[in-house]
Structure 1
Amino acid sequence: MAREAQVHRPHHHAIGFNLAAIAVLLALVGIGFAYLIDAAGRSARTQAHRLDTETTLTRTLGGRDLEIPLSWFRYEEQRIEGFAKQIDLRFELPFGVDGHSEPVDVTLLPRSRARPSAALLDGVYLHQFLPEQLAGPPGLVGKPLRADGGYTDEVVWYDPLSAEPFVAKCSKPIASAATGQCLRTVYLGPGIAAVYAFPEPALQHWRDFDAELTARLGQIGAL
């Protein structure tokens, strides 16, 4: 009997080894299926939509679905479908000297994360103005901000005659050959705000600035 037990024991070990091998094989097959499902999901997220013959993706921001052309995205990693905390776009608009295109970066984000530049004019900037006034684009007033208020080398340009004025805050360039950069924040459609970042020379076209951008943002459903 003892010899029989010794003879059968290796057989039990072989069965156990085979079962373990099968379990490993099934696990590998499961991992393979998981990768296939993930790849299919990625493909579904980038299925082609069309907007004026260009492939688009649907991103949801501030409770709204935005249909955005692929070429408008500033960052490759945002070229997926689904919910977004913010969306970074880039346009080439005719705001440069002699109508040459200038890059304008647009960041879309929920309204709760932004305050319009026009509201900041009365609520913040007005209390930080220095006495001097700068000459600049026709129709705009330039007021330097106080360095001790945290606005070193920054100027606010605004339309003093409008009830809903154009307002932009610009920073002086660090290098002498560089161009100053400006920021302007606006509210778009319900739930969505936009921050525009653009070169200071584009201020020459401030009367057309918002219209140029809203025409494009309206195409994707952001208004």
Structure 2
Amino acid sequence: MGFSASAFRRAVSGSVTVSAALLLAALAGVWSVRDRVFGPRDGALEGAGPQAVGMTIAGQKLAVPSHLIRFEDQRSAGTHGRVDLAFTWPDLAAVQARSVRNLDDATPDPAVVFVSIEPRQSPLDTSARLTAVYARFFVGAPIEGPNGLVGQRMASGSGYEDELIFYEPGGVRPFAARCFATDGDNLATTCLREIAVGPSLVALYRFRYALMPDWRSLDERVRTLAEGLLSR
């Protein structure tokens, strides 16, 4: 779709009803593959048991399954600036090497979803920005998206040029996601969505465009997962 590398770098820098017990039982495996799209090599999971790590982010207490945590230095109790998660779709299982093959090429392999839980920097999540921000920069005719979504290109000079916004038309709190490409001509398209979690956090999740037909289920499951991490 001709998206720029600068758009990706700018965007990145910026559910099934499943209990915590079921998540802990499902999360097993080893992360050992370098994902140059989303960051440096993740810490190995050897020896990590199905335990919940108690942590605090922006004053909010969380209990996060250790196998779900992507980076080794975040698998410790205490206060963190953020926590990065990764799981396979649609089973919400631990990421294994076989699940992330072809992440750096154009072969459709949308198995992995990345979620960052971090402090809320703005009162507007992606859904709220749809009408408050993005719609002002729509240009050209709408593009038919998967499973009822509509896509819109963004105006040059808007800060979102070379991106597409895919959204659910007519919704009160509509699904919306920004989609862009990674560096190089042969890399898969990636999409980004932010949802509010609790009073002070957001879940920023990234997924392959190939998963967009599952947007309803994907959004519900990520939201339920993220909210389930909050300690009551």
Letter in 1 for 2:129: L
Secondary structure of 1:190's counterpart equals coil
1:127 maps to a residue whose letter is: R
DSSP 3-state at the match of 1:138: helix
Checking the alignment, whether the CA contact within 8 Å between 1:114 and 1:193 is kept in structure 2 is no
Number of aligned residues: 171
CA contact (8 A) 1:153 1:172 kept: no
SS at match of 2:177: strand
Q: Give the unaligned 5+ runs of structure 2.
A: 1-22, 26-48, 92-108
1:221 corresponding residue in structure 2: 230
Larger gyration radius, structure 1 or structure 2: 1
Residue 122 in structure 1 maps to residue 118 in structure 2:
no
Partner of 2:30: none
Q: CA deviation at 1:101?
A: 5.8
CA displacement at 1:178 relative to structure 2: 1.9
SS of the residue aligned with 1:130? strand
Q: Is this contact kept in 1: 2:117–2:203, CA < 8 A?
A: yes
Task: Give identity over the alignment, percent.
Answer: 29
Structure showing the higher helix proportion among its residues? 1
Q: What's the RMSD between the two structures over aligned residues?
A: 2.5
1:128 touches 1:146 (CA, 8 Å); kept in 2? yes
Question: Partners of 1:158 and 1:172 in 2: how far apart?
Answer: 18
Deviation digits for residues 42-76 of structure 1 (CA, Å, limit 9, x no counterpart)? xxxxxxxx954712211101322111111111111
Unpaired segments ≥5 residues, structure 1: 1-49
Does the 8 Å contact 1:188/1:222 carry over to 2?
no
> Higher mean Cα deviation, 155-164 or 189-198?
189-198
What TM-score does the superposition give when structure 2 sets the normalisation length?
A: 0.66
Is this contact kept in 2: 1:192–1:222, CA < 8 A?
A: no
Mapping of residues 119-158 of structure 1, within 5 Å: 119-158=128-167
Question: 1:62 corresponds to which letter in structure 2?
Answer: A
Q: Secondary structure at the match of 2:151?
A: strand
Residue aligned with 1:203, SS: helix
Match of 1:57 in 2: 53
The answer to whether the 8 A contact 1:115-1:185 is kept is no
